[in-house]
Amino acid sequence: MTKKDDNESTKPVDLRRRAEKKIASQRQGCGIPNNAETQRLLHELQVHQVELEMQNEELVRTRQEAVSALERYTDLYEFAPVGYATLDADAAIREVNLKGSGMLGEERRHVLGKKLTWFIGQQSLSDINVCLQMLSAGNERQSCEVQLRSQEKEAPWVLIEAALVRKNGRPEYRIVLSDISARKRAEAEKEKLLAKLIQSRKMEAIGRIAGGVAHEFNNMLTVFFVAVDLMKMQCPYKSPIFEHISAIERASMHGKEIVRQLLTFSQKQLISPTLCDLNALISSLGPSLEHMAGQKIELCLDLQPEMGTIKADFAQMNQLIAALASNGRDAMPDGGKLTIATADVDLDAEFCSARADLNPGPHVRIQVSDTGVGMDHETLANIFEPFFTTKEVGAGSGLGLPTIYGIVRQAGGFIDVQSETGHGSVFTVYFPIAATSAERGEPDVPDELPRGHETILLVDDNEMLLRVTGLMLEHLGYAVTAVSSPAAALSLIKEQSQSYNLLIADVIMPGLNGAQLHDKIACVQPNMKVLFMSGYTAEIIGEMGRFPDSTAGFIQKPFTVDELARKVRVVLDGLLPRFAAK
């Protein structure tokens, strides 16, 4: 017999002993006859009565403790921070606490008796079924994350942790439901931000590749342009060969346009940013936009009056508006409505946090929307990649939207696209509002093709380009000394006493870049002016070197004889226009 059993068996004896003691104390003050049998019977009755009273007190105390324990259990069960439920072998809900029924979206009386799967969203049914099957197969505990059925826009997510127990020989499922909706939203937001970051880095990498490819093509195209110009100068206009030369020139111009678009996409196109009034720009484009839209498409301009100005390249903004409108027109082959809207908006930190590279503050917003065919998710994810197109072969180069992307990014803006198949598209562009102190205007255009007789030191590590550029400059009347490396140029300066009026140097060369070469030569010939040339752009030049002073100029490859002749004259005459690159 255990100690607990001993305590249970002695409990009545102890109770009787306490009762007898109580009767003895009461008898001392009472005048009860001293008849032995009467005394014994009376004693027995009194002891029994006291025993019953004490047992009743014990029962009352025990009941109170049980009620208190039940209340504590009920509080813990009903108002727990998680849901509790008991399912039968068929997964029907037999018990559920208030939290659990609330999470399932119904009152408890409507939840009881229904199968748990009735509350699970279609996309998560397989997960909960696998979980219950694993339990039935002998696994002690299982868990799964499921999305519940809901009329709300965003159905809640719950974590279900389940265990299989047996009660009276029958299997039961005991489950715990935890609300994980907030965690799922955070995970989804993190995935979106990660996807945007990956996309941003991918576009940046593609841009670097595009910039490098454009640089190499620019070198080759410069040779084509110079060679074509030189041949045209020596070939009669009516010669049969002239038409072939013109065909080469047209092909080179097409290649130059592709390179220009690649540089714009890679955000390395040379630009001249000025204050731009987008409302005035769009209004001035109105007639051409109407003509471009055609008769089937209704063009609607919704321009906010007295809108802020932005700092951007005027020509690029023209190209941006025209390209967005053209893209909307192409999305509506059967006609529709094309809307161009502008507005001033003040972007807050919360809005910008979900959009990489967009900073809070006042912005100008341009929205170009169409009622066309729209785009699916896969197309939407690739529209800004170079050479990606949904048009038929030959109908598009795949550089339209990438060029738009490059223009927007180079101007410090942000572009967002919303689209659904069959519901049209909305392109939204944000540009930061510029300070009003900047100057308005456009670069001046020189008048005529100039010539000269100054001395020029030409340095480029591309032998073919060096040769044709030298021939071009000599044809314009200049005395040209051409060398293929910075080291050769420095040796020439040290060995000869001849001074040069102008240094024309490629920016990116082995050993020394163009700016470093100029600095060294300037120590010997401080009055020599310099013209940098490159298939890269001012941004790359800013990284590799600098424009030493106001005597420095820059010409973008590829260039024609006409362009080089004018630029050389501008530098020599000290008439340098400003330029910038974002």
pLDDT at 226 over 50: yes
Mean pLDDT of the 330-353 span: 87
Residue 442 pLDDT grade (very low, low, confident, very high; cuts 50, 70, 90): very low
Which amino acid, residue 471?
Answer: L
Note the pLDDT of residue 455.
Answer: 92
Note the pLDDT of residue 142.
Answer: 87
pLDDT at 375 over 70: yes
Contact partners, residue 499, CB within 8 Å, separation at least 6: 455, 525, 527, 528
Note the pLDDT of residue 1.
Answer: 46
User: Residue 523 gets which letter from DSSP?
Assistant: T
Strands (E), 476-582: 479-483, 502-506, 529-534, 552-556
Distance CA 227, CA 474 (A): 13
Distance CA 110, CA 99 (A): 14
Pairing of strands 83-87, 170-179: antiparallel
Q: Hey, is 508 helix, strand or coil?
A: coil
Q: pLDDT digit string (tens) for 80-123? A: 788 888 888 888 998 888 888 888 888 888 889 888 888 888 88
Which amino acid, residue 110?
Answer: H
Distance CA 315, CA 442 (A): 9
Residue 408's CB is within 10 A of a number of other CB atoms, namely 22
Distance CA 291, CA 167 (A): 81
Q: pLDDT digit string (tens) for 552-575? A: 688 877 787 888 888 898 888 887
pLDDT at 540 over 80: no
pTM: predicted TM-score of the whole model, two decimal places: 0.41
- φ/ψ (deg, to 5) at 468: -70, -35
Token digits for 255? 């290649």
User: Which of 10-14, 46-50, 189-193 is the least confident region?
Assistant: 10-14
Residue 545 pLDDT grade (very low, low, confident, very high; cuts 50, 70, 90): very low
Give percent of the chain above pLDDT 90: 7
Could you tell me if residue 503 is left (phi over 0), alpha (psi between -120 and 50 degrees) or otherwise beta?
Answer: beta
